[in-house]
Amino acid sequence: MRPELSAAIRPGRLLTFLRFFLAPFAVGAIAVLGFAPFQFYFIPPVTLTALLLIWLRCRTLKSAAAVGFAFGAGLFLAGVSWVYVSLHVYGGMEVPVAAFFTLLFCLFLACYPALVCAVLLRLRASTPVKLMLLFPALWAIAEWVRSWLLTGFPWLSIGYSQAPASPLASYAPLLGVYGVSLVTAAVAGAAASAIDGFALRRSLPRPLPGFIAGVCVAGALVITGAALKFHHWTQPVPGKPTSVTLLQGNIPQELKWRPERAVATLETYLELARSSDSKLIVLPETALPMLNVDIPSGYLKALADLAVRNGGDILYGVPELDPSGSYYNSVMSIGTGPAQTYRKVHLVPFGDYFPLRPLLGWIMKLLHIPMSDFSHGAPVQNPLQVAGQKIAANICYEDVFGEEIIRQLPEATMLANFTNDAWWGDSVASRQHLQMAQMRALETGRPMLRATNTGVTAIIDPDGRIVAAAPEFTTTRVSGEVRGHQGSTPYIVFGNAGFLVLALAMLLVPPIVARVVRTR
């Protein structure tokens, strides 16, 4: 190739790289600012709008997929690379291996936006229809699939960025978090349509239909969301609120399971509990670092006496060995009410159990995670009836699966999450997890109690707002008066079916209408 021709091609390749990879990668990374702990909820709609404006310049499936993949790579590498902390610092993986698996994991997640952008290019429809109907539906469905495929990882679903302050968060009781993602993507699509229509207008005497429709759709969705904030789907339970104390032991993860530290851990939680006179005292996931059958009887008696003194109950996380020989990650009650147990259903792969042992058993040799061979609890379990309330218990990251939480509703009057986020170290992960718990409160119209080992321990009201919270990495407690709620939101009744029906309608209606128009 002649040198002058080669020189002419290189700038074009550089421009293509900047436009179809570097720009969307940067936009995806910026989108993380919309999530906790930053919570600039307006940023994700803006970044999705920017993604679509870049996508509009794509002419091939390859370029469209590259744009979506780059956006996803930026989003997940910036937002969930804390997985490295779990693998290396606490899982014992060597640095190169942990870094490789973290990169591979984030790039796998980036395939979802890539698929959305590629499929969107293939669909036949006008640009405004693609942006305002097809894109939101595809994006939300992709997030929903990501929430259950290969046991699911719904972290950084766009809908979570809107909880709790955004007007769009008000769609959560109706359609759940993926419905909020759909609406957020629809606002972005409408904005992109308006911007594209305005740019194409040039010398036309009036705005293009895409501009008018985009402005109207975006405005209508935001205004409707703001109006929905004034509607309450559930009602407080009659009577006095319940006094609650949540304990945060702040036991370092590297010391949590050492036998020589067990007595100190038990004493820490007992002293914290003794400093409270609340009717309901809640300890975190596996707060007592030994099998339930090995807990000293005198310790359990001390907890029971304390609960009876306060006229209520104590809930504590503990590994449970049942008579059949199975192990469970459980929450147990002790106090004035009968003894009850909740067993974790949705286990963390490689953390709570090892999937596909014959195929993936070699990974076990790279990780050194104690208590990682639990059995699954029953899919449907009754709420725990303690301290005059019915508690829908969930353990660790079970609270990121909204449709699993509603299995105990509408009977339950409160939600309670028992977790140990120490696995993520001093990263943004614990705040992201807290924001997902806020979304569960919004979806169900129930207060959420979060008892954690190192943070963030918090009381969340039915509107998803944090009433009280403890600073991370401190040994402390959070106390407050919490009123249970009753009734059903549409999400409790229909789960994700409501959002799925809407998304499928948005995908199917445009081609049906176009076919009818062509036949006339």
Q: Is 396 labeled as catalytic in the residue annotation?
A: yes
Q: Among 193-197, 229-233, 366-370, which is the least confidently predicted range?
A: 366-370
267 is catalytic: no
pLDDT tens readout for residues 208-252? 677 888 999 999 999 999 999 999 999 999 999 999 999 999 999
Cα separation, 250 vs 232, whole angstroms: 36
Burial annotation 264-280 (CB, 10 A radius, 16+ → b, else e): ebbebbeebbeebebbb
Radius of gyration of the chain (CA): 25
Over residues 31-74, the pLDDT tens digits come to 999 999 999 999 999 999 999 999 999 999 999 999 999 999 99
Name which of 64, 70, 75, 68 is nearest 28 in CA terms. 75
pLDDT of residue 367: 52
Sequence spans of domains, the chain: 15-233+496-519, 243-345+381-482
Instruction: Give the pLDDT score at 5.
Output: 39
Catalytic member of 130, 256, 279, 344: 344
pTM of the predicted model as reported, rounded to 2 decimal places: 0.92
Instruction: Catalytic residue, from 106, 130, 143, 285: name it.
Output: 285
| pLDDT exceeds 50 at position 2 | no
pLDDT at 519: 65
Average pLDDT over residues 420-441: 94
Which is the catalytic residue, given 396, 398, 403, 443?
396
Q: Which CATH superfamily is domain 243-345+381-482 in?
A: Carbon-nitrogen hydrolase (3.60.110.10)
- What is the per-residue pLDDT for 189? 97
Residues written for the chain: 520
* pLDDT bucket at 8, cuts 50 / 70 / 90: very low
Residue 285 a catalytic site member: yes
CA distance 416 to 16: 50
Q: What is the mean pLDDT of the chain?
A: 91
DSSP per-residue codes, 351-398: TTB-SSHHHHHHHHHH---SS--PPPPPSS-PPEEETTEEEEEEEGGG
Structure tokens at 307: 């609960």
